[in-house]
Structure 1
Amino acid sequence: MPPTDASTDAASAPLTDGSPGPGEDKDPPQDTDAEDTLDLRLPTEFIAFLAGQEPEGDRPEPAAAPRLTPVPPASADLLDQVGDWGPTDTPAGAFQLVPVRVERDLPLLGRWMNDPAVAAFWELDGTQDLTEKHLNAQLAGDGRSVPCLGVLDGTPISYWEIYRADLDSLARHYPARPHDTGIHILIGDIARRGRGLGGILLRSVADLVLDKRPACARVVAEPDIRNTPSVAAFLSAGFRFAAEADLPAKRAALMVRDRSLRHLL
């Protein structure tokens, strides 16, 4: 979780046989009341004929059972393939989350992080090494956070981190539920700020999360409580203010968008 948060118009940062079991007789007890039962011993060939099988002596050796590799759960990708979510229509245009590639995107993200409005909350200004280290830490992880460019009508204008809030250190600071999904955002294109775009995109991305992650019941965020524009953008996007949380690097406003309320707020 990044240490701080920038204005949503600028940024909202992070922070399993039938063999007997033990103790069981290997041979079942004989039925002592079955004295009148005839002990018929049928030829092996006849038994095989009745069973529709070849006689025992002619049957090939059974093939060895294939060695099965354990199949990871469907959510082994902890965020259900963010890169495959595809574009979504928004009032501002066609929007898509595109997972970051450091070699392609570092120069652009480095410039955004050095914007004073962003740097005040993300604290990744300076040389590109800081931004590169931050990105690599996420990309080298287990997939609980996916850094993305937000592309509007073909142009990258924002940076996003979609993360598993229930698996993040944030979960120690609020009553997390399984599959809670978190959002960090910054609007890098200065010309796009101050026009309500943050709220529009936040609502669209929250809807994407709820549509693409059926196990997720809540989308959460934790902008800095001082970041009034960011909090306002989340509210306009259908999030509710749930609580204040003292995080290691900031006092945050815990914002929650509930699946059960998504069509009401």
Structure 2
Amino acid sequence: MASAPSLPLFYNGLEPLSSEAHANYKVRPQDTAPFLVGQHAIPVTVDEFPLVQRFMPIVFSVGEQPIPLALMGLNEGVNVFVSDEGRLTETNFYVPAYVRRYPYMLARLRPEAEELSLCFDPTSPTIGAFDEGDALFENGQPSELTKNILSFNESFEQAGARTQNFMTELTEMGLLMDGEVSIQPDGADQPFVYRGFQMVNEEKLVDLRGDQLRKMSQSGMLPLLYAHLFSLSLMRDIFARQAQLGKMPQPQLQPVG
């Protein structure tokens, strides 16, 4: 089992799914996601931008290898779309694929391994040697459920590769800049200033040469950038939701990513 510090968001451990070790394992449905409580920034792929931008702001993390993030809250420990029990509070809402793939993921069992193996988080309450549930294996072979899980994770990895290429191109073109959003609520003496994330520099984007813009439009990159830019207006909606929930910090500089 992998050690917790090296694992991605949500995962407490990773164990390769095996027809021998987990022959009697089943999956039981769960209508809550406790692991999502208090998680305010969720990784998303570029494939999801058109859907995500309808519900959540899309920003980019800071650092040398930035990734796209959907904001489910503006402050650490705040998720305005999930109850304290981990139940979605919205009926019409897009749940990012990163959330939907948990507790599974494709991973290399050894650093030198070329192939990815389907693994799961053994601490998840949704998978185990239960009496009831949907079987992961039937007669020693992967069940239809397991095949579907594998297919979803393979699609996620492919989307992740496209996202990595997108971010490489975005970084090389120098279109990212430090982001800042200032929100002044009615009656507040000081504004809430949010930083700690990156966003596309719209001025640089507009000033690109015609052939560069045409290439980005043909590749599908340009609409994705504008999906990100349009989504930023939702930061004020997230702020308003936090205020309604009584989950506001003191007005000062706030890290987002």
TM (norm. structure 1) is: 0.22
Q: Larger Rg: 1 or 2?
A: 1
